[in-house]
A and B are shown apart, each in its own frame.
Chain A
């Protein structure tokens, strides 16, 4: 199975900052990488799919990049409503579809 390792596991930043969350795959997953945002008590929401495609309605301050084994979700400028846990997910080698362990962003 392909493992996804996210870093950091948590971070604290201020409104207006630029933050970067990385997701490293245990082997090449090409561009088969999605990002989700989850706020407490709510279901996850899709932000970015196929590495860099912004889902319709998602603010342009969210940006995804990378390929192969290393991927990044960048949020800039950070807004108060971005306080959440972010998960990466791969679909290159399925099944199983796997998720990263999550990154909690506090503002």
Chain B
């Protein structure tokens, strides 16, 4: 079975740093793009960052660009999110999400098909 298990969250002061990890199992990790999606308390979902299967391409939401860095270790089936200069508004549950890249006869679509259970990041002022 596909499993994504996040860790590394915690309570930090504004300006601090954290490194989130996601341990993947049950699928060929190095064949999939991976993403981080976050959800502030009581609010909706926000895509944060994505990374191609071979780390060639990475993308970030404007709200985190320059402060967050996504990376992966395909040999260890791990996805990371380095979070620097944390702000109070970064407080959220952070989910690790797989993208299988569904393709039909004419197009390819990004799809978030498996999600981890999430890790809580809380930033105090």
Chain A residues in contact with chain B, CB under 8 A?
30-32, 34, 36, 38, 43-46, 49-50, 53, 55, 87, 89, 91, 94-102
Contacts and interface: CB of A to CB of B under 8 A. Distances in A.
Interface of B: 35, 44-47, 50, 59-62, 95, 102, 104, 107, 109-118
A50 B50 contact: no
Given A43-B118, A95-B60, A95-B61, A87 B111 contact: no
Given A43-B118, A53-B102, A94 B110 contact: yes
Contacts, number: 70
A97 B44 contact: no
Given A99-B46, A102-B44, A91 B110 contact: yes
B108 to A, nearest CB: 9
Contact of B115 (A31, A45, A94, A95): A45
Contacts of A99: 44-47
Contacts of A87: 44-45
A96 B61 contact: yes
A30 B107 contact: yes
Contacts of A55: 113
Contacts of B95: 43-44
A38 B104 CA distance: 26
A34 B112 contact: yes
Given A31-B107, A34-B111, A96-B62, A50 B45 contact: no
Given A38-B45, A98-B47, 5 more contacts: A53-B102, A91-B111, A97-B35, A97-B50, A99-B45
A48 to B, nearest CB: 10
12 contacts: A32-B107, A36-B45, A43-B115, A43-B116, A46-B112, A46-B114, A49-B102, A87-B44, A89-B112, A95-B47, A96-B62, A97-B35
Contacts of B111: 34, 46, 49-50, 91
